[in-house]
């Protein structure tokens, strides 16, 4: 044991950094998998919702009378609808994961 300033003992690891945060590795891998899946689904939903907003503005902007732009408008509308379907599917998956982790 070393004696430091003022005659007090010096603890060997006193200058080491200690983490006082919770140990996040204690959960089961299944629980962590569900948490990560929920987060990924949330991110995917955000991106799809942003894409949906963009598609609506593109549909409005491409609403012209020419056949080519009308075809583009119809394609964008189908993509918008498909995006809405995917959002619904992801919402169901997120709900299923939440139910699975609660039960």
Distance CA 66, CA 47 (A): 31
Chain segment 58-76, per-residue pLDDT in tens: 877 766 667 777 888 889 8
Q: The tokens 């919402």 sit on which residue? A: 91
Please write the tens of the pLDDT for every residue from 15-49: 555 555 555 555 677 788 888 888 898 898 989 88
**Running DSSP on this structure, what letter comes out for residue 9?**
E
8 A C-beta contact, residue 70 and residue 46: no
Q: Kindly list the domain boundaries of the chain, sorted by start residue.
A: 28-102
Place of tokens 């995006």: 83
């Amino acid at each position: 044991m070393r004696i430091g300033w003022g005659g007090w003992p010096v603890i060997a690891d006193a200058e080491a950094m200690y983490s006082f945060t919770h140990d996040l590795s204690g959960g089961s891998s299944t629980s962590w998998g569900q948490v990560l899946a929920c987060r990924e689904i949330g991110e995917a939903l955000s991106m799809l919702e942003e894409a949906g907003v963009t598609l609506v503005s593109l549909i409005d902007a491409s609403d012209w009378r020419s056949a080519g732009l009308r075809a583009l408008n119809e394609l964008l509308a189908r993509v918008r609808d498909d995006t809405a379907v995917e959002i619904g599917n992801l919402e169901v998956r997120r709900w299923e994961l939440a139910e699975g982790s609660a039960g």
